Structure 1
Amino acid sequence: MYIPPAFRAADEAAMHAVMRDAPLASLVTATAAGLLCTPLPLCLEPGEGERGVLYGHLARANPHWRAPAEGDTLAIFSGPDAYVTPSWYATKRETGKVVPTWNYVAVHAYGPAEFFDDPARLLAVVTRLTARHEGGRPAPWAVADAPADFVAAQLRGIVGLRLPITRLEGKRKMSQNRDAADRAGVAAGLAAGDAAERRVAGLIPLD
């Protein structure tokens, strides 16, 4: 990922937070036949391994897990993002020398993908992912709510993924390359938008 110095995010805890908040990641593997990409939810275990370990699962019918990888596998996590119009810049009124851009947060996690089909490990991964996404609901559903034989049959249709993170790259592009007046204009413009834009507005550095 191209990361100019102004946009580099090096804090591992902050990158882990982005990964936890992202509901869906993209798993990318280079193979002899070309690139393979699978969108899937991933669960981070930050205390495992040197930089954390990602867990998830793929459909057994998905050829992605069978293809030998050429190098590390990449998991892409996208954080808050929003379009930035030049109309918000003070510089537009002063010189007119402005162009549109996009503010965003992204984290790339690299490591050797490991796949497994042990039923107990698969059940643990599915249970963990379910708890993560059901936990905040008024009446959360649990894997144990389904009949055990049905769950066992479903597990036979998936393959588990374990990805020990060996390298993390973080990018936080939030108008840091603009002067204070332009940043204030971007923050004010985004603050008047929808929920996603307001979230980005809160990430613009104003001092």
Structure 2
Amino acid sequence: MYPPRQYIENDFARLLTQIEKSPLASLIYQNAQGDIELCHIPLVLDENKQHLLGHMAANNPLAKLLAKQPLNIKCLFNGADCYVSPNDAEKVYLPTWHYAKLEIKGTAQPITKPSQKREIMGYSVAQFEDKLATQWQLSQVDENEISQSLKYIMVFKIEITEILGNFKLSQDKASETREEIKQSLYARGDKDSAELIY
């Protein structure tokens, strides 16, 4: 079985946290010629945690394809990752790499109604601005300007059909060893990687 069972993350809350911490997703899809394509788009979860929401330029090849029909798509979210040295813990005998990766499969479809596009754009902006000390709001832009801009943007949603978390964090090691690794990562200033270890 791959990935090994101990590296499969099933904690839904931990998986969703990775989307919030690392929202820039790599979207993988098949074009009309059958070739595999890739683009990078920040995504947010809707309020019910059942869809991913995003937007892109209307001239993006993915947008042009999506305008014709719904599309099966994979979204890869890359959480923190780091090198782990044998110097990081007494019982780490060989170097390894820690990482938190999340793969979501789903069906993407465009949002075409202007009011829904405007609503999703406002919601998405609020999700990102919420993390900032001084928050900007879409309402600060003139509505006519927003309406014009939305003509050149495709807003879309992805219905989530499958989630796979692949978190390789030395789960095969004793808790004492994992704690040593964690403290070593904190000591070298890699807080994001350290906080993943449990």
Mapped partners of 2:177, 2:131: distance in 1: 38
Find 2:191's aligned residue among 171, 177, 198.
198
Aligned to 1:57: 55
Mapped partners of 2:175, 2:132: distance in 1: 40
Do 2:78 and 2:100's aligned partners in 1 also have CA atoms closer than 8 Å?
A: yes
- Say if 1:100 and 1:70 are closer, same or farther in 2 by CA, change over 3 A: farther
The C-alpha deviation readout for 1:60-112, integer Å capped at 9, x for no partner, is 010112337897201111222222112223246xxxxx332211111111111
Mapped partners of 1:14, 1:136: distance in 2: 18
Aligned to 2:23: 23
Do 1:81 and 1:200's aligned partners in 2 also have CA atoms closer than 8 Å?
A: yes
- Report the 3-state secondary structure (helix = DSSP H, G, I; strand = E; otherwise coil) of the residue aligned with 2:197: coil
1:76 aligns with 2:62: no
Identity fraction in percent: 25
With 66-75 and 174-183 compared, the bigger mean Cα shift is at: 66-75
Aligned to 2:106: 111
- Report the 3-state secondary structure (helix = DSSP H, G, I; strand = E; otherwise coil) of the residue aligned with 2:117: helix
- Report the 3-state secondary structure (helix = DSSP H, G, I; strand = E; otherwise coil) of the residue aligned with 2:119: helix
Q: Which consecutive unaligned segments of at least 5 residues does structure 1 have?
A: 93-97
- Report the 3-state secondary structure (helix = DSSP H, G, I; strand = E; otherwise coil) of the residue aligned with 1:153: helix
Q: Which consecutive unaligned segments of at least 5 residues does structure 2 have?
A: none
- Report the 3-state secondary structure (helix = DSSP H, G, I; strand = E; otherwise coil) of the residue aligned with 1:165: strand
Number of aligned pairs?
Answer: 195
Q: What is the Cα deviation at residue 46 of structure 1?
A: 5.4
Q: CA RMSD in A?
A: 2.3
Q: What is the Cα deviation at residue 140 of structure 1?
A: 1.2
- Say if 1:135 and 1:116 are closer, same or farther in 2 by CA, change over 3 A: same
Mapped partners of 2:168, 2:34: distance in 1: 33
The C-alpha deviation readout for 1:16-63, integer Å capped at 9, x for no partner, is 222222231111112334122221111112526xxx111111110101
| Letter paired with 2:169 | M
Do 2:28 and 2:38's aligned partners in 1 also have CA atoms closer than 8 Å?
A: yes
Aligned to 2:48: 47
- Say if 1:71 and 1:162 are closer, same or farther in 2 by CA, change over 3 A: closer
The C-alpha deviation readout for 1:140-179, integer Å capped at 9, x for no partner, is 1111101112111111111111110011101221111223
Mapped partners of 2:99, 2:8: distance in 1: 12
With 27-36 and 160-169 compared, the bigger mean Cα shift is at: 27-36
Mapped partners of 2:85, 2:125: distance in 1: 39
Aligned to 1:35: 36
- State the TM-score, normalizing by the size of structure 1: 0.84
With 26-35 and 145-154 compared, the bigger mean Cα shift is at: 26-35
